[in-house]
Homo-oligomer: A and B are copies of this chain.
Amino acid sequence: MASDLRLVLIISFVSVLVFSTSSSPLPRFPRQNRARIQLFGGDRNSYQYETKYFSQQLDHFSFADLPKFSQRYLINSDHWTGASELGPIFLYCGNEGDIEWFATNSGFIWEIAPKFGALLVFPEHRYYGESMPYGSRDEAYKNATTLSYLTTEQALADFAVFVTDLKRNLSAEASPVVLFGGSYGGMLAAWMRLKYPHIAIGALASSAPILQFEDIVPPQTFYDIVSNDFKRESSTCFNTIKNSWDAIIAEGQKENGLQQLSKTFHFCRALNSTDDLSDWLDSAYSYLAMVDYPYPADFMMPLPGHPIKEVCRKIDGASSDASILERIYAGVSVYYNYTGKVGCFELDDDPHGLDGWNWQACTEMVMPMSSSQENSMFTAYDFNYSSYKEDCWNTFGVNPRPRWVTTELGGHDIETALKSFGSNIIFSNGLLDPWSGGSVLKNLSSTIVALVTEEGGHHLDLRPSTPEDPKWLVEQREAEIGLIQGWIRTYRLEKEAQFPLLKRSW
């Protein structure tokens, strides 16, 4: 990663925004990651659902005369015990991408639905997938005016309106709603529970970095955790990566250096700059830290179990005469080409130059990220808000409001704020996940609890169970199920107490 480039935002697995302060003013995207979502994005066939659409208000918070839009949602009622039994509704808070991808990668919810007799709904986040205001992606993403309703608060209101209407249509007003979400979706689930306690009785917020704003956590947190994930596997591996950035620049400055780098790293076309290569590597390391799962998985890319161990094995285990760059290539190939089927790598910019998450990052979701000289295997970098803001203006014609999200949604001094306020939220985190540093890692009250696993990755608990699941993962999921059962039990007892004559079989 070149010193003037910085991967400033990665949320979930969908988009990566790289701001260059020196070259292109447009954010660039490791296209490989995004392209593969469709290829490896989950086991579509194992989950059956209906796809439906809901006519949604574009602006919930003003009465401007705006066109409604069609919000997609997926629904499965196979196991629902129905309204008369107060059958619960499990709502996944769709995040920044195609809802089918999140739905089919959230096996946990599908697996527990029969146990709970739950109706499953997966509403899509506005401005993603098929849920486009103004009729099409091109229109929705046209400019800052059309994009201006792509905000977290509007998305939460969408969920509130959607599920209220759904319950009314099903005469299921009394059915308890439980929220689920991973990554940004987990942030939405936690915020939804806090902001709409009358809508949902509890939330499982998995890998939800709701504290990754302003000065709440140190800006180095993310890259420090990525780096630690490599260091714990092998300090030589960590050092090789740490030294590789200078090696890349040195190579790039040679005559035909870029060509040579392109060859070493098997790019289909010649690199335009060493920055492109650094971003590509940075992205791989960051994602590897997130999906450092204990068994093979293909959430983002098909990968072996403990993929960082595998990467470091390649880096450390290359023949003794291998150059530092050849070692890096061997390592990163675990990420980009584990199947061995990729002949060469593409490195295209996003053709639109605009992406939903990047807009959100340039408005509300300003997450300061630096990397430290001491603890990081990346080059030292200090987050610079001025240039961040400038890039946002150049890209979208919008000014961020970096303090708004904590004003609206909290975060500072969260322990005091929530100690006697709110209830029924699980913050689940794996400490290998670099996003865990910005999440809630200890109990805030008796009912706002943190479930933390040392060896866990990014919302691993939401993935389907496998025979290879380690004991701690099985136990984590059991704890989650137990807590959710408790929420529903308490809710039903209160309902019973209110309407003793309506006592039912639950």
CA distance A415 to B61 in the complex (A): 26
CA distance A59 to B59 in the complex (A): 11
Q: Which of A44-52, A193-201, A243-251, A467-475 is near enough to bind chain B? A: A193-201
Q: Which residues of B contact A149 (CB under 8 A)?
A: 62
CA distance A147 to B62 in the complex (A): 9
* B198 engages A61 (CB within 8 Å): no
Q: Contacts A61-B151, A63-B147, A408-B160: A420 and B447 contacting too (C-beta < 8 A)?
A: yes
CA distance A57 to B144 in the complex (A): 17
Q: Contacts A154-B61, A157-B408: A498 and B144 contacting too (C-beta < 8 A)?
A: no
Q: Which residues of B contact A263 (CB under 8 A)?
A: none
Closest Cβ of chain B to A103, distance in Å, is: 24
Instruction: Tell me the A57-110 residues at the B interface (CB within 8 Å).
Output: 57, 59-65
Q: Which residues of B contact A151 (CB under 8 A)?
A: 61-63
Closest Cβ of chain B to A359, distance in Å, is: 8
User: Which residue on chain B has the smallest CB distance to residue A168?
Assistant: B403
User: Which residue on chain B has the smallest CB distance to residue A147?
Assistant: B63
Q: Contacts A407-B161, A415-B498: A64 and B197 contacting too (C-beta < 8 A)?
A: no
How many A residues touch B, CB cutoff 8 Å? 57
User: Which residue on chain B has the smallest CB distance to residue A161?
Assistant: B407
* A412 engages B63 (CB within 8 Å): no
Q: Which residues of B contact A403 (CB under 8 A)?
A: 164
* A197 engages B494 (CB within 8 Å): no
Q: Which of A10-18, A19-27, A368-376, A421-429 is near enough to bind chain B? A: A421-429
Interface string of A185-207 (1 = CB under 8 A from B): 00000000011111100000000
Interface string of A408-422 (1 = CB under 8 A from B): 101111111111111
* A416 engages B498 (CB within 8 Å): yes
* A410 engages B197 (CB within 8 Å): yes
User: Which residue on chain B has the smallest CB distance to residue A193?
Assistant: B421
A173 contacts B by Cβ under 8 Å = yes
Q: Which residues of B contact A414 (CB under 8 A)?
A: 198
Q: Contacts A420-B490, A422-B422, A423-B421: A144 and B65 contacting too (C-beta < 8 A)?
A: yes
Instruction: Tell me the A130-178 residues at the B interface (CB within 8 Å).
Output: 144-145, 147-149, 151, 153-154, 157, 160-161, 164, 173-174
Closest Cβ of chain B to A427, distance in Å, is: 16
A212 contacts B by Cβ under 8 Å = no
- Max count, chain B CB within 10 A of own CB: residue among A147, A401, A417: A417
A295 contacts B by Cβ under 8 Å = no
* B416 engages A420 (CB within 8 Å): no
Q: Contacts A197-B421, A413-B198, A422-B197: A164 and B62 contacting too (C-beta < 8 A)?
A: no
User: Which residue on chain B has the smallest CB distance to residue A492?
Assistant: B416
* B144 engages A63 (CB within 8 Å): yes
- Max count, chain B CB within 10 A of own CB: residue among A62, A145, A148: A62
A363 contacts B by Cβ under 8 Å = yes
Question: What are 28 A-B contacts with C-beta separation under 8 Å?
Answer: A57-B401, A59-B62, A60-B153, A60-B408, A61-B151, A61-B153, A61-B154, A62-B62, A62-B154, A63-B151, A63-B401, A65-B144, A160-B408, A164-B403, A197-B410, A198-B411, A198-B413, A199-B410, A415-B494, A415-B498, A416-B495, A416-B498, A419-B494, A420-B423, A420-B424, A420-B490, A421-B421, A422-B422
Please name the 10 residue pairs, one residue from A and one from B, whose CB atoms are nearest each other, closest first: A198-B410, A61-B61, A198-B417, A197-B421, A63-B148, A64-B148, A62-B148, A420-B423, A416-B494, A164-B407
Starting from the known contacts A60-B61, A197-B418, 9 additional A-B residue pairs (CB-CB under 8 Å) come to A59-B61, A60-B404, A61-B61, A62-B149, A195-B195, A196-B410, A198-B410, A199-B407, A421-B422
